[in-house]
Amino acid sequence: MELEYLILVVLAMMLVTYPPRALPLVLLSGRDLPGWLTSWLGYVPVAVISALLAPGLLIQDQRLTIYWQNPYLLAAIPTFLAAIKTRNLFISVLVGMLSLVLVNRLLG
């Protein structure tokens, strides 16, 4: 029964997540979008990644932690600068990982 339940859950998740991704692709492919909409859609990835990262960087133990002893916040600064400068995901991730290791070593 457990395997059948798991398969049912996976299928239900597929049915819930696939249409919102596929419908815009199917409905909008081959159409020219207005310039303002294309410009607006360009901000969506930045907004989504910001919404995903902000809680991890700024909230610890269910409290807002904006102080200089926060290792994640300190490591995010050079990572952000590397992302802006290079616009390369691999380099940004590499700088982020190295920054966090370095900050953790320095803060002890």
Q: What confidence score (pLDDT) does residue 67 get? A: 85
Give the pTM: 0.62
Is residue 46's pLDDT more than 90? no
Q: What confidence score (pLDDT) does residue 78 get? A: 96
Residue 93 CA to residue 85 CA, distance in Å, equals: 13
User: pLDDT-based confidence at 88, cuts 50/70/90?
Assistant: very high
| DSSP 3-state of 63 | strand
Hey, where are the domains in the chain?
32-107
Q: What share of the chain has pLDDT > 70, as a percent?
A: 99
Q: How many CB atoms lie within 10 A of CB 74?
A: 20
CA distances from 7 to 1, 16, 18, 34, 76 (A): 10, 14, 16, 42, 39
| DSSP 3-state of 95 | helix
Q: Strand pairing partners for 60?
A: 63
Handedness of CA 90, 92, 94, 100 (dihedral sign): negative
**Rounded mean pLDDT of the chain?**
91
